[in-house]
Amino acid sequence: MRLGQPTIAAARAIATAAAAAEPASATRFVGETLLVRETGLLQEYRAKLSSASPAAQRLFAVENSNKRELNKFAKAEAIRSIQKRPGDTGPTDVQIAASSARITALTEHMQQHKKDLHNLRSLQGLVQQRRKLLKYLKRTDFPRYVSLLAELNIRGVDRL
């Protein structure tokens, strides 16, 4: 735990104390700036959070998450949008979606930190792994390959 980060018990105590001080009519988020797509996971999370007090809503809002949590959320959403049933992470197209989410996050990181060679190497490895998976999917199931490229908005591989 980093210095200055509240523990879960402290966060609950703060939310309970703030809920007692605020009126019950204010049940909306304050200033919604979305960093992830407005999709199923986010809607479910907000539905669960809507029954909490306004202070707890502000405290546990998705927008207040750190970058690591937002990246996990984006990866889970990418997997969920592709998979056919919950927990189905083995198919090639699901693996491609998961690696695409990680590639997007690392690309954003590399734009800010150009001299971070460790993450640059990780990004290059992820791109090569996704490229291999795309080549395999193109070779084995071309219609699914084309639909996946359209859904993820990525370019395909040129040659097998």
Residue 131 vs residues 11, 26, 34, 79, 100: alpha-carbon distances, Å: 43, 49, 29, 17, 10
Per the CB < 8 A criterion, the answer to whether 42 and 30 are in contact is no
In eight-state DSSP terms, residue 4 is: T
Higher pLDDT, 26 or 70: 70
Could you tell me the pTM of the whole model? 0.65
Does residue 31 surpass a pLDDT of 70? no
- Rounded Cα–Cα distance for residues 90 and 104 (Å): 21
- Rounded Cα–Cα distance for residues 148 and 87 (Å): 19
Tokens read off for 15: 């939310």
User: How do residues 2-23 score in pLDDT, each as one tens digit?
Assistant: 444 445 555 455 545 544 444 3
Tokens read off for 156: 């395909």
Per the CB < 8 A criterion, the answer to whether 156 and 133 are in contact is no
- Supply the pLDDT for residue 98: 92
Does residue 52 surpass a pLDDT of 90? no
Does residue 78 surpass a pLDDT of 60? yes
